[in-house]
Amino acid sequence: MKFDKELSIIQQKIANGYAGVSRRLAIMNSIELEIGQNVIDIGCGGGHLVQEISLGVGENGKSIGIDPSEDQLKAANNRCKDLKNIELICCTADKINIENSYCDRVTSTQTLEYIEDIEPSLNELKRISKKNSKFVNISILWDYFRFYGPEKKLNDTIHEAFRAHCFHQMLPLDLVGKLSTLGYQNIQSENLSYLITNRDKNSPAIFYEKMLAKFAMSQGVSENAVIDWQEQLSRSEKDKKFGFTSFPVLTTAYLK
Ligand SMILES: C[S@@+](CC[C@H](N)C(=O)[O-])C[C@H]1O[C@@H](n2cnc3c(N)ncnc32)[C@H](O)[C@@H]1O
Q: What CATH number has the domain bearing residue 39?
A: 3.40.50.150
Cα dihedral angle (223, 229, 231, 236), rounded to 10 degrees? 180
Nearest CA-CA partner of 213 in 192, 193, 234, 198 = 234
Cβ atoms of 113 and 168 within 8 Å: the answer is: yes
The answer to whether the CB of 23 falls within 8 A of the CB of 29 is: no
Q: Which domain holds residue 210?
A: 5-255
DSSP symbols for 242-253: -EEEE-EEEEEE
Q: Whose CA is nearest to atom 18 of ligand 1?
A: 92
Which residue intervals of 31-151 are DSSP H helices?
Answer: 48-57, 70-79, 119-127
Tens digit of each residue's pLDDT (9 = 90 or more) over 104-159 = 999 999 999 999 999 999 999 999 999 999 999 999 999 999 999 999 999 999 99
Ligand 1 mean position to 11 CA, how many Å?
Answer: 10
pTM of the model: 0.95
Report whether residue 247 contacts ligand 1, using a CB cutoff of 6 Å.
no
Residue 204 CA to residue 188 CA, distance in Å, equals 26
Atom of ligand 1 nearest to the CA of 24: 8
Q: What is the pLDDT averaged over residues 47-58?
A: 96
Nearest residue (CA) to ligand 1, atom 19: 92
| Collapsed DSSP state (helix, strand, coil) of residue 111 | coil
Closest C-alpha among 243, 235, 251, 207 to residue 18: 207
Residue 2 scores a pLDDT above 80: no
**45 CA distance to ligand 1 middle (Å):** 6
Q: How many domains does the chain have?
A: 1
Is 107 in contact with 39 (CB distance < 8 Å)? yes
Q: Which amino acid is at 191?
A: N
The percent of residues above 70 in pLDDT, for the chain, comes to 100
Say if ligand 1 is within 6 A of residue 113 CB.
no
Distance CA 54, CA 47 (A): 10
pLDDT in tens, 212-251: 999 999 999 999 999 999 999 999 999 999 999 999 999 9
Residue nearest to atom 11 of ligand 1 (CA): 43
Is the Cβ atom of 20 under 6 angstroms away from ligand 1?
Answer: yes
Pairing of strands 129-140, 103-109: parallel
15 lines ligand 1 (CB under 6 A): yes
Mutate to test the pocket of ligand 1, among 49, 67, 128, 249 (most ligand atoms within 8 A of CB): 67
Q: For the chain, how long is the longest CA-to-CA vector?
A: 56
Check pLDDT > 90 for residue 24: yes
